Structure 1
Amino acid sequence: MKLDFELMTERLYLRPYKNADVLSLVDAIHTSQEALSPWLTWCTPDYDQHDAHEWIHASQQNWLYDVSYEFAIFDRETDEFVGSTALSNLSELGNSGELGYWIRESAQRRGFATEACAAISQFAFLTVGLTRLEIVTHTGNLASQRTALACRAQFECTARNRIVMHDKVVNGLLFSLIPTDIL
């Protein structure tokens, strides 16, 4: 898949990460650390430009080899970096993938995660050709659960030992999307 790919929504544009996003990514993580760190192990106060550069490089390689698709999310009006969404854990056998997302704290509670997830879900089904997406949330992450439901994902189960968090295995809530849910 090409790295110049872009998805547009009413208020957002989503595109693969570029090297120029390093400072915006680091800033979003630092200013959102308190809100995101309970759910994202890599969201720490010592996350720096080197970490961001390494992650962006890995993300670009993932796109080139169709391993996963990470999108930087931007506000169309302000051009501000507002977060990230990704298709990962792609399974050829199951023709499925996992949908993940996070929004910087200053842009939360504005529907950006729902809007971005709708766009990446259409990309997954129409462009990548997947037939199932899974969203796995921490049992205590109510905002992420609300986003999954707002995206029309169906709650399926509490998946035992589904998430590894700080070397501890915990349960996760499993939601799924199939093409008929959104198309």
Structure 2
Amino acid sequence: MKIGGLNAVDTGKIEPILLTIPEQFESKRLLIRAPLWGDGAAVNEAVQESIEQLRPWMPWASSVPTQEASEISIRRSRLQFLERSDLRLLLIRKETGKLVGSSGLHRIDWPTRKFEIGYWVRSSCAGQGYITEAVEAITKYAIRELQANRIEIRCDSRNHPSARVALASGFSLEGVHRGDKLDVDDCLRSTMIYSKVRGVEF
């Protein structure tokens, strides 16, 4: 049973776990795939390399994880992918096999086919366009394979690199939720909301 063959009414009636969803696809430079058991070591290496750059924006990066913790996270993500409750995706450079970063489709609302793209890049791969390339490919994947009606990118209003990725990928700024969350230092932060909506941006 493939979601691409369902209409909006049908999508709300079936169990997401029954959906057949491709586990990998490619962009020009990247293999973008679901997590697999054993990926924890590569993820841990990338996080350790990038912890200072990740810490201001990612609550889970408050401390350096152990390799075991990274593997546990990967295995949970694998199960969530199979359940269709969260679709984490790893970004791997095809030429070298190196893990570039992580992305995925989160906060999924299957009845309305709404998804949120999140992402981070390891420090040694930053500024090379990998995340913009990945976001564009994941957006096409969500539209083609998941019949997305709405795709969001949310980021801290101070996270200018993340905002630039959203704009470069053709997302529109809908607005700013002012003082809506606490940041990693327990200070109020604002959230910028970018989106693509069927019938408007695609």
Q: Same fold by TM (over 0.5)?
A: yes
Residue of structure 1 aligned with 2:126, choices 108, 118, 130: 108
User: Following superposition of structure 1 onto structure 2, how do residues 50-129 of structure 1 map, counting pairs within 5 Å?
Assistant: 50-129=68-147
Higher mean C-alpha displacement, 102-111 vs 36-45: 36-45
Structure 1 stretch 39-48 or stretch 118-127: which is displaced more?
Answer: 39-48
Q: Could you tell me which residue of structure 2 aligns to residue 176 of structure 1?
A: 195
Letter in 2 for 1:171: S
Runs of at least 5 residues in structure 2 that lack an aligned partner in the other structure? 1-18
- Which position in structure 1 is the counterpart of 2:36? 18
Alignment partners' CA distance in 1, 2:181 and 2:199: 27
1:31-81 Cα offsets, whole Å, 9 max, x none, are: 101111100011144311122112111111111111111101011111100
CA distance in 2, matches of 1:125, 1:168: 36
CA distance in 2, matches of 1:141, 1:86: 19
Is the alpha carbon distance of 1:105 and 1:18 closer, same or farther for their aligned partners in structure 2, counting shifts above 3 Å?
same
Equivalent position SS for 2:38: helix
Question: For 1:169 and 1:130, how far apart are their aligned partners in 2?
Answer: 32
Give the direction of change, closer, same or farther, for the CA distance of 1:60–1:81 in structure 2 (3 Å limit).
same
What is the identity percentage for the equivalent residue pairs of Structure 1 and Structure 2?
26
Rounded Cα–Cα distance in structure 2 between residues aligned with 1:74 and 1:9: 10
The 1:30/1:17 distance shift into structure 2, 3 A limit, reads same
Structure showing greater radius of gyration is 2
Among 66, 83, 91, which residue is 1:48 paired with? 66
| 1:138 corresponds to | 156
Aligned alpha-carbon RMSD (Å): 2.0
Aligned residue for 1:39, secondary structure, equals: coil
CA distance in 2, matches of 1:52, 1:159: 31
Which letter does structure 2 place at the counterpart of 1:176? S
SS in 1 for 2:61: coil
Secondary structure in 2 matching 1:123 = helix
SS in 1 for 2:57: coil
Deviation of 1:163 (Å): 3.9
Q: Are the equivalent residues in 1 in contact too, given 2:24–2:33 (CA < 8 A)?
A: yes
1:22 deviation in Å?
1.1
- Give the 3-state SS of the residue equivalent to 1:62 in structure 2: helix
CA distance, structure 1, for counterparts of residue 167 and residue 93 of structure 2: 22
TM-score by length of 2: 0.83
> What whole-Å deviation, never above 9, does each CA across 1:93-131 have from its counterpart, x for those lacking one?
432111101100100000000010011111111111111
Counterpart CA distance in 1 for 2:137 and 2:180 is 26
Q: Secondary structure at the match of 2:68?
A: helix
Contact 2:38 2:71 survives alignment (8 Å): no
